[in-house]
Structure 1
Amino acid sequence: MTIEDLLAKAEALLPEIEAAEGDERYNLHQDLHRLLENIRMRGGKVPAHLRTRDLELVDEEVEDAFDNMPI
């Protein structure tokens, strides 16, 4: 699979992630993250908007983890 193919798959995941909730959203984010890592490992550049969205999703997951902590 070429870097262009990986980028196309990552772009296609964005609307799916936006429409998803809960575990499905988490799993789709993991797929996106793996694609971005594969792009980097193959020497490609990850576009800023994909990198930013990945970080936003990580922040969301961290925040959700704290929401579930007992007080």
Structure 2
Amino acid sequence: MEDCRPLGFLIGLPFAVLALALSLVGAVVWILGSAVSCICPCCICCAALANLAVDLIKLPVRVINCFIEQIPC
């Protein structure tokens, strides 16, 4: 139970919900960027946009982990 820090989880939860909304936007951008890059592979900017969207999708987990790591036991 060394990594169990419920206070960090509870403090980070509102920020994770906000990050979840951003990740939904990231999912839509990723789907659109993937479709455009499949249609026209010469659009390298769409691939970069899709990679940015994947980072947005991973954001809620990163936010929760950041808050959990900041709270000492």
Normalising to structure 1: TM-score of the pair?
0.47
The answer to which structure, 1 or 2, has the higher relative contact order (CA under 8 A, 6+ apart) is: 2
